[in-house]
């Protein structure tokens, strides 16, 4: 039996647990674990509600392979320059919205606080994850995660993934 | 129109020194809005495709002045201040839309697509009482109108009657480099705004600064996308205000010796991409220029980084803050492969860009670093003291060009 055969009520705790693990990996600065939450192939994109609504396809981050996700982490660790900062994700309850092409469709609201090295805490992003989830090696993984931020405006820079 | 006197005295003659108060001083900032953004310059305001059909409009700013750009019934572009002639409320509230006319929500004063006041609610009063005086003439009231000019699908606006025609303003060399990128109708791929914690000029200088690119943005060098040792150069317009820098396809510099000799952070070997499709660039223009960054004084950037194309609009938001509005684009006839390539390469730029995220914070580092240094001077000496075009990117010529134009506008 695969994830898409499960009734929504059974999927809810599975998707919630995946979201919790995903958020902890990022907030605990275990970014190297982040690509592992995705199936292969996969799509990960950070966009905004306005771009999403208008059908503008470009994201501020766009990856269509786990390799591109690993490259993002490698660049953050070794190449990119930004002040030390961390996120705290608050992830809401997922809504299980049925099945698309063999994947479970879910939508989950999130809120991310950014904590800067000097102690400044800002509400950095709010939005919703539009996900397609599949069984990948016996575990639930993202085939697609479109991060739709409510605002199109980003403060200073976006380094750590949402 | 009278322009206020320059609020301070410029401390030095050379273009190679800049006082830090210029990024902090409130009076200077107010003077910039009047003398530069509302003065004899062409401000980038939108793409022609944003206002393609009659009635299509966009709202934006000339500095901090809210403006509406709209396509008239006659097919011409019109622009006017987004301020009702009655009590000064915004006339249009959305970023974009389509209208037959504009009506202020406050007291329903109405404007046509050219910004003419055509309707005053209860102009004759009610039941013979109230209303506007008989002497009130609608044609004498209205938001200030702007001039517009377009080039290669870009729309510029100016409040001043003294601004030279756009092509003369840009000069032939810069105009040619705009046309090089914008060679056919564009298709917008995305729009994002980046709020930067610094004075607007720190960003404009950063974009013009060809020296920093491969030193601050180590993604470039570690993935060997560009080095200062690569071929290229910078063109500075005669008045100094505009520039275009180019990086040619990589010459053989496989040893990265120049970087290693100087012990630079920007040289870290052995860093490969797990998915190199990101850098799968096609020379779509066919001239071997891999990277071109172009600015038009005071607020416009056109970028070609490989196949990643974007325009950036600089919007000042007080002396210590600004917004950078990004519009990523391709062309209407892009193949699916080229479309996908542009989406991937968009990772290079924007708020999360591999080669631009540092530009989001470095202006703030200067703003904070100079908090107590208003009367100290910044050093802008790479490549000499002049603001002429140079066949190297190890220069700050185009930054000095900015100060040349800035000081002329400001009376410094």
- Residue B226 is predicted with a pLDDT of 54
Q: Do the Cβ atoms of A61 and B195 come within 8 Å? A: no
Q: Tell me how many residue pairs between chain A and chain B have CB atoms under 8 A apart.
A: 124
Name residue, tokens 């509400």.
A123
The β-bridge partners of B229 are none
- Count CB-CB contacts under 10 A for residue A27: 17
pLDDT above 50: residue A1: no
Predicted confidence (pLDDT) per residue in B33-67, tens digit? 999 999 999 999 999 999 999 999 999 999 999 99
Distance from CA of B265 to the nearest CA of A (A): 9
Contact A158, A61 (CB under 8 A): yes
pLDDT band at residue B7 under the 50/70/90 scheme? confident
Q: How far is B129 from chain A (nearest CA, A)?
A: 47
**Average pLDDT for B109-133:** 95
Give helix then strand counts, H and E, for chain B: 10, 19
- In chain B, residues with a C-beta closer than 8 Å to the C-beta of A68 are 274-275, 277-278, 344, 347
CA distance B171 to B26: 32
Nearest to B289 by CA among B340, B243, B234, B240: B234
Q: Given CB atoms, is A50 within the 8 Å cutoff of chain B?
A: yes
Backbone φ, ψ for residue B19 (5° rounding): -75, 145
Who's near B166: CB < 8 A, 6+ residues apart?
Answer: B42, B149, B150, B151, B156
How far is the C-alpha of B213 from the C-alpha of B207, rounded, in Å? 9
Tell me the angle at which helices B200-208 and B397-410 cross, rounded to the nearest 10 degrees: 140
Residue B268 has pLDDT above 70, yes or no: no
Cβ-defined contact of B352 to A62 (cutoff 8 Å)? no
**Residues forming beta bridges with residue B379, ordered by sequence position:** B17
Enter the tokens of residue A18. 């995946």
**Least-confidence region, from A28-42, B207-221, B282-296:** B207-221
Please say if the pLDDT value at position B228 is more than 80.
no
What is the rounded CA–CA span in Å between residue B195 and residue B347? 18
pLDDT band at B260; cut points 50, 70, 90: low
| Average pLDDT for A120-149 | 96
The SS3 assignment for B262 reads: coil
Q: Quick check: B351 and A81 CB within 8 A?
A: no
Contact B197 A156 (CB under 8 A): yes
Output the pLDDT for position A2.
Answer: 64
- Contact B321/A at CB under 8 A: no
Task: Note the Cα B222 to chain centre separation in Å.
Answer: 28
Instruction: Identify the three-state secondary structure at position B41.
Output: coil
DSSP SS3 for B396: coil
Residue B129, exposed/middle/buried by CB under 10 A (0-12, 13-18, 19+)?
exposed
Choice among B63-72, B132-141, B145-154, B218-227 with the minimum mean pLDDT: B218-227
Mean pLDDT is lowest, of A106-115, B2-11, B141-150, B255-264, for: B255-264
Rounded to 5 degrees, what angle do the CA atoms B319, B327, B35 make?
A: 35
A42 CA: distance to closest CA in chain B (Å): 13
Measured between beta carbons, the chain B residues lying within 8 angstroms of A67 are: 273-275
Burial label, B114 (beta-carbon count in 10 A; 0-12, 13-18, 19+)? middle
Which residues between 84 and 143 in chain A have a beta carbon less than 8 angstroms from any beta carbon of chain B?
none
The strand pairing partners of A146, in sequence order, are A45, A130
Residue B265: pLDDT over 70: no
ipTM of the complex: 0.95
Residue in B219, B324, B351, B369 to test binding to A, most A beta-carbons within 10 Å = B351
Q: Which two tokens stand for residue B107?
A: 């007291």
Q: Which of B191, B195, B274 sits opposite A156 (nearest CB)?
A: B195
Q: What is the mean pLDDT of chain B?
A: 92
Mutation target vs A (from B347, B358, B363, B371; most A CBs, 10 A cutoff): B347
- Position B141 pLDDT exceeds 60: yes
Question: According to the model, what pLDDT value does residue B259 have?
Answer: 55
Q: Per-residue confidence at A37, pLDDT binned at 50, 70, 90? A: very high
Beta bridge partners of A145: A44, A131
Q: Inform me whether the C-beta atom of residue A80 falls under 8 Å from chain B C-beta atoms.
A: yes
Work out the pLDDT band at B306, boundaries 50, 70, 90: very high
pLDDT of residue A156: 96
Q: Which residues of B139-160 are buried (b: 16+ CB within 10 A; e: fewer)?
A: eeebbebbbbbbbbbbbbbbbe
Angstrom distance (rounded) from CA B219 to CA B225: 8
Residue-wise pLDDT for A52-101, tens only, equals: 999 999 999 999 999 999 999 999 999 998 999 999 999 999 999 999 99
Residue B255 has pLDDT above 90, yes or no: no
Give the tokens for residue A54: 């208008």
Q: Which residue has the tokens 């009047």?
A: B34
**Residues of chain B numbered 156-215 and touching chain A (CB < 8 Å):** 188-197
How would residue B254 be classed by pLDDT, with cut points 50, 70 and 90?
A: very low
Please state, in angstroms and rounded to a whole number, the distance separating the CA atoms of residues B139 and B137: 5
Q: What is the pLDDT of residue B78?
A: 98
User: Which of B20-24, B374-378, B391-395 shows the lowest mean pLDDT across its residues?
Assistant: B391-395
Chain A positions touching B323 (Cβ under 8 A) are 153
Q: Which of A54, A63, A84, A157 to mutate against chain B (most B CBs within 10 Å)? A: A157
* Residues B24-47: b if buried by 16+ CB within 10 A, e if exposed: bbeebbebbbbbbbbbebbbbbbb
The whole-number average pLDDT for the span B137-159 is 97
Task: Give the nearest chain A residue to B362 (CA atoms).
Answer: A82
Do residue A156 and residue B193 have CB atoms under 8 angstroms apart?
no
- DSSP secondary structure, B55-111, as one string: TEEEEEEETTEEEEEEE-TTS-EEEEESS-TTT---S--SSEEE-SSEE-TTT--EE
> Is A79 near chain B, with CB under 8 Å?
yes
Mean pLDDT (whole number) for A138-153: 97
Q: Please, which residues bridge with residue B35 across strands?
A: none
- Cα angle, residue B77 at apex, residues B76 and B79 outer, rounded to 5°: 140
Q: Which two tokens stand for residue B290?
A: 């891999």
Asked whether B405 and B171 are in contact (CB, 8 A), the reply is no
Residue with tokens 């001077």: B377
End-to-end CA distance of chain B: 19
- Determine whether the interchain pair B346/A59 forms a contact, defined as Cβ–Cβ distance below 8 Å: yes
Q: Are strands A103-116 and B308-316 parallel, antiparallel or unpaired?
A: unpaired
The C-alpha angle B243, B249, B253, rounded to 5 degrees, equals: 110
* Closest CB to A60 among B195, B344, B350: B350
Hey, are the CB atoms on A59 and B216 less than 8 Å from each other? Answer: no
In percent, how much of chain A has pLDDT > 70?
97
Predicted pLDDT of residue A3 = 65
Q: What is the reported pLDDT for B4?
A: 59
Indicate the pLDDT class of residue A135, thresholds 50, 70 and 90. Answer: very high
Residue in chain A lying closest to B310 (CA) = A58
Query: Other CB atoms closer than 10 Å to residue B338's CB: what's the count?
Result: 15
- pLDDT at residue B252 tops 90: no
**Percent of chain B with pLDDT strictly greater than 90:** 81
Best mutation target, A56, A58, A69, A112, to test chain B (most B CBs within 10 A): A58
**Cβ-based contacts of B268 with chain A (< 8 Å):** 78-79
Q: Two tokens at A70?
A: 């690993």
Three-state SS at A72: helix
Helix/strand/coil for A78: helix
Task: Please tell me whether residue A152 adopts helix, strand or coil conformation.
Answer: coil
Is B214:A81 a contact under the CB 8 Å cutoff? no
Instruction: Classify residue B239 by its DSSP letter.
Output: T
Q: How far apart are CA A42 and CA B388, in angstroms?
A: 49
Tracing tokens 């990022």 back to the chain, one arrives at A26
Tell whether A158 lies on the interface with B, counting CB pairs under 8 A. Answer: yes
């Amino acid at each position: 039996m695969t994830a898409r055969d499960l009734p929504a009520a059974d999927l809810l705790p599975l998707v919630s647990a995946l979201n919790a693990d995903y958020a902890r990996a990022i907030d605990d600065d275990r970014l190297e674990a982040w690509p592992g939450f995705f199936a292969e192939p996969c799509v990960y994109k950070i966009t905004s509600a306005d771009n999403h609504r208008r059908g503008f396809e470009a994201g501020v981050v766009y990856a269509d392979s786990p390799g591109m996700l690993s490259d993002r982490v490698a660049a953050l660790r070794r190449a990119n320059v930004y002040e030390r900062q961390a996120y705290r994700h608050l992830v809401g309850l997922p809504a299980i919205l049925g099945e698309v092409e063999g994947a479970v469709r879910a939508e989950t609201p999130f809120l991310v606080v950014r904590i800067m090295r000097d102690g400044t805490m800002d509400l950095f992003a709010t939005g919703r994850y539009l996900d397609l989830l599949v069984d990948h090696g016996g575990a639930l993984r993202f085939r697609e995660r479109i991060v739709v931020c409510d605002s199109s405006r980003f403060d200073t820079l976006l380094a750590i993934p949402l | 129109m009278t322009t206020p006197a320059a609020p301070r005295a410029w401390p030095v003659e050379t273009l190679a020194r800049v006082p830090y108060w210029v990024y902090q001083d409130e009076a200077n900032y107010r003077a910039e809005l009047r003398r530069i953004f509302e003065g004899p310059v062409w401000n980038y305001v939108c793409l022609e495709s944003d206002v393609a059909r009659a009635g299509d409009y966009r709202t934006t700013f000339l500095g901090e002045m809210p403006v509406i750009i709209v396509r008239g019934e006659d097919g011409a572009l019109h622009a006017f201040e987004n301020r009702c002639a009655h009590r000064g409320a915004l006339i249009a509230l959305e970023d974009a839309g389509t209208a037959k006319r504009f009506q202020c929500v406050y007291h329903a004063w109405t404007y046509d697509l050219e910004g003419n006041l055509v309707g005053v609610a209860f102009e004759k009063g009610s039941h013979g009482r109230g209303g506007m005086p008989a002497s009130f003439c609608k044609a004498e009231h209205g938001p200030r109108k702007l001039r517009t000019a377009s080039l290669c699908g870009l729309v510029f606006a100016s409040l001043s009657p003294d601004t030279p025609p756009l092509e003369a303003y840009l000069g032939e060399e810069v105009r040619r480099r705009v046309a090089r990128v914008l060679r056919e109708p564009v298709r917008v791929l995305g729009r994002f705004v980046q709020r930067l914690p610094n004075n607007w000029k720190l960003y404009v200088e950063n974009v013009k600064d060809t020296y920093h690119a491969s030193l601050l943005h180590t993604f470039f060098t570690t993935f060997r996308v560009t080095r200062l040792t690569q071929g290229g150069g910078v063109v500075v317009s005669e008045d100094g205000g505009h520039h275009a820098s180019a990086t040619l396809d990589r010459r053989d510099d496989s040893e990265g010796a120049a970087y290693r000799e100087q012990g630079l952070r920007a040289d870290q070997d052995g860093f490969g991409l797990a998915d190199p499709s990101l850098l799968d660039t096609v020379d779509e223009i066919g001239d071997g220029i891999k990277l071109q960054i172009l600015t038009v004084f005071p607020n416009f950037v056109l970028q070609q980084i490989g196949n990643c194309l974007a325009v950036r609009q600089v919007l000042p938001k007080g002396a210590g803050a600004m917004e950078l509005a990004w519009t990523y684009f391709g062309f209407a006839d892009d193949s699916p492969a080229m479309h996908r390539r542009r989406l991937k390469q968009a990772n290079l730029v924007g708020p999360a860009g591999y080669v631009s995220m540092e530009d989001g914070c470095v202006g703030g580092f200067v703003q904070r670093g100079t908090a107590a240094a208003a009367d100290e001077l910044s050093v802008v000496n790479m490549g000499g003291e002049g603001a002429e075009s140079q066949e190297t990117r190890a220069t700050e010529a185009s930054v000095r060009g900015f100060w040349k134009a800035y000081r002329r506008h400001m009376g410094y």
